[in-house]
Amino acid sequence: MKKLIAVLFFVLLEQVTFSQELRTRTNELHVTTTGLTARTTVPAIIWVSPMVEYTNSISRQIEIEANVESDVPLKTIQVILGDNVNGASRGQKKVELIQDVTTRHISQKLILQDGSNYIEIVAENINGAKVSSTRHVIVGKDAVANAISIDRKDYALFFATDTYDYWKNLVNPVYDANTIAAELKTKYGFEVEVVENANQRDILVKIRDYAKRNYRPQDQLFIFFAGHGQFDEAFGTGYVVAKNSLEVDVAKTTYISHANLRNYVDNIPSKHILLAMDVCFGGTFDPAIANSRGGEGHEDLTDSEFLARKLSKKTRRYITSGGKEYVSDGTVGKHSPFAARFLESLKSRGGEDQILTINEILPYLEKIKDHEPRSGEFGDNEKGSDFVFVAKRN
C-alpha cells in the first residue's frame, strides 16, 4: 500500500488530451484523470482507520480516519457510503476545504447498515487528477459469522536453533519450538511449521515465502524465534543469531538485525501477526519498549462478537523473553523459562470462553523470576488490535 501510494504520488502524468481517460485499479486504489492538459500528480489517500481493506464491526457506528495529501491544492474531497453487494450508493458527504490547502485530515463518525458496506474517499486536485480509495466493512450478524468463518486459518512459523557453527550450542530451542507447535496444532488448530537450525539465508528465504502467500482477512500468523540473540551498542540495535552467524562479526553481516526483521514481518500480507522472541536482548526488537498488563473482560459480548471485534484490527504485536539483557536457555530436558510460561498460558485455553488473548498471556510471563518479558507493537499496528488463540471446542 505505502509503496503504491509513493509511486502514484510522484509519477508525473504528462499531456493527457481531453478525450483520454487514464484509469488504474488495485484492490485499494482507483485513479482517474480525465481532461488533463497540464502536467500534474495525483493526490494520495492514507487510511488510519480502518487500516485494513476488509474488516468487521459488531456496531453500526464506526469512526473513519484518513489523510489526503497533494502537491497542488485540493479541489474536492468526498466520503461515499454504499452497499457492497449491489454497488448502490447510500449517501455521500463533501469534506470542507480551505482555499489552496494541499493536505486534509479526515475524521468522521458514520452509521452503517447491517450487511456489507463500502466506504469510499474520493479526492480531486485543481488540475483534475482524481483518486479514490475504498474500505469494506461488514456490520451486524454477518460480521460475526464472517469473523468465525470455517475458512479462517491460523498459521504458526517457528525458527529454533540449538546447534551453531561458531556460537555455543544451546539445549532447549528446538525442544521448546516443537512442544509449543504441537500444542498449537492439537489444541488450537494452527497450521504449524518448525524450521530447525537454519542459517541466515534459510531464515530469510522462509520469511519471504510467507510474505508471498495469500491470506484471508481474518487469518492470523504467529512467528516464534528461539536461540541466540545479540545487541550491538555502537549500532544501537539487536540481532537474531543464525546457525552460521560468526561469533566475531564487527559489521554484523552474518546476523539478522531487528530493524530488518521488523520490516520483513511488517510486510507479510497477513493482517494479524504476533511475533514472539525467546532470545537474548529480544526486547530491543522495538526501539520503544512498552509493557501491557492485566486481563481483559468482555462480559457484554458473546464469544463470536468478541472475536469479530478482535479480528477487525490490523495486528503487529510482539512479546519477548526479556529486554536489553541475556535470558536463560534453561536446563537439559526442561523448557526455557519463557517457553514454559508460554506453554502454561496455552494450556489454560483462555479460561471459560476458550479464547486466549495477549493480555491474558502476559500475566503468565510476568512470573518469570530472573528477567522481565516485554511486549509492544511495531509497524502498521492498529490501535485496539490483538491476537487471539481460539481453542478447539471439545
C-alpha cell at position 177? 519450538
How many CA atoms lie less than 13 Å away from 178 in the CB half-sphere? 9
pLDDT at 57: 77
Query: In terms of Cα–Cα distance, which of 47, 46, 32 is closest to 130?
Result: 32
Q: What is the arithmetic mean of pLDDT over 244-262?
A: 92
pTM assigned to the model: 0.68
How confident is the model over 148-205, as pLDDT tens digits?
655 689 999 999 999 999 999 998 899 999 999 999 999 999 999 999 999 999 999 9
Average pLDDT, integer, range 249-259: 91
| Residue 213 clears pLDDT 50, i.e. is over it | yes
Residue 362 has pLDDT above 50, yes or no: yes
More confident residue, 235 or 71: 71
Which one has a higher pLDDT value, 143 or 383? 383
Mean pLDDT, all residues of the chain? 81
Residue 127 has pLDDT above 50, yes or no: yes
Rg, C-alpha atoms of the chain: 24
Strands of the sheet with 154-160, listed across from one edge: 191-196, 154-160, 220-226, 272-278, 315-320, 374-377
- Indicate the helix (H) or strand (E) that contains 190: none
Residue in this structure with the C-alpha cell 519498549, named with its chain if needed = 289
Residue carrying the nine cell digits 539478522 = 256
Task: Please give the share of the chain, as a percent, with pLDDT higher than 70.
Answer: 77
Q: How confident is the model at residue 233 (pLDDT cuts 50, 70, 90)?
A: confident
- Name which of 12-16, 247-251, 326-330, 349-353 the model is least confident about: 12-16
Poorest-confidence range of 33-37, 44-48, 225-229, 275-279? 33-37
pLDDT tens digits, residue range 22-81? 333 334 455 555 555 456 688 999 998 888 787 777 778 888 999 999 999 999 999 999
pLDDT in tens, 281-335: 544 455 543 233 233 444 456 777 778 778 878 899 999 876 444 445 445 567 8
Give pLDDT tens digits for 326-355: 445 445 567 888 899 999 999 998 888 889
Q: What share of the chain is helix, strand, coil (3-state, %, to 5)?
A: 20, 35, 45
Question: What pLDDT is stored for residue 150 in this prediction?
Answer: 53
- Cβ proximity of 3 and 24 under 8 Å: no
- CA-wise closest residue to 311 among 189, 148, 183: 148
pLDDT at 53: 82
* Chain-centre distance for alpha carbon 338: 23
Residue 15 is classified by DSSP as: -
